Amino acid sequence: MHFLLTVVFQMNLGGQGNAIGVGVPVHLGVTGLYDVEFRIVVACRDGCIYLVRRGWTQARTLVQLPAQAVVMVVLPENSSIVAALMNETLHGYSKKVEKHKYK
């Protein structure tokens, strides 16, 4: 857990082109192995989901959510992201950041 927190806090969670890290991590989802390849998906209080990968110096914005995430899960089978939001909706995103609708 210490390694994970170190990686996240060293990254710039402000997204591309933003020199100031403004994202406050709320939920973390991790896939992969540290020695090979890993991905850290971070949902922040600013309503964005960011992606951190091995070797990157800056996080990349995957999606701007319409509301803050209550919970976020990264599915290990296909690395899809499912997030329940404060506006009582459920959003799902594939690896290509295609939005899936859930009722």
Q: Is residue 5 over pLDDT 80?
A: no
SS3 content of the chain, % helix, strand, coil (to 5): 10, 45, 45
pLDDT at residue 84, as a whole number:
93
pTM: 0.74
pLDDT by residue (tens digit) across 49-78? 988 888 877 788 888 999 999 999 998 888
Q: Between 92 and 101, where is the model more confident?
A: 92
Q: Can you list the domains of the chain with their CATH numbers?
A: 2-101 (2.40.10)
